[in-house]
Amino acid sequence: MTETVSVKKLGAKEILRCICHKSKGHNAIQCKNCLYFQHVSCVAKYSQKPIVNYICPECWKLEPLVDSSTTSIVSRTSIMQWNEEIVKHIANDNVRF
């Protein structure tokens, strides 16, 4: 299991490189590949299970693709976000011909 560490207790050689680009925060988690730390609240806020072998978003891009015979499921939240974006971009004030 990957342990969380208080940001205040990070050593001089331990680097906090989070997706939020902020240097302050509470708990951080370390990527097993690059060894950089990220805020738990930014990368694992909704995780209900203990985080095992955490991989940061940057290192995740380098991981091999997972073969799967399943269909991707688009959640309602994603669909609603797409709808909001489309409506925003086609609003009368934003459309130019």
Residue 56 lies in a domain: yes
Confidence (pLDDT) at 96? 58
What is the rounded average pLDDT for all residues in the chain?
A: 80
DSSP assignments along 18-51, one per residue: -TT--S--SEEEE-TTT--EEEHHHHSTT--S--
Instruction: Give the total number of structural domains in the chain.
Output: 1
Q: Which domain holds residue 84?
A: 4-90
Tell if the pTM clears 0.75, that is, is over it: no
List of the chain residues with pLDDT < 70: 1-2, 72-74, 92-97
Residue 95 lies in a domain: no
Residue 97 lies in a domain: no
Which CATH number fits the domain that encloses residue 66? 3.30.40.10
Specify the DSSP element, H or E, that contains 55.
Answer: none
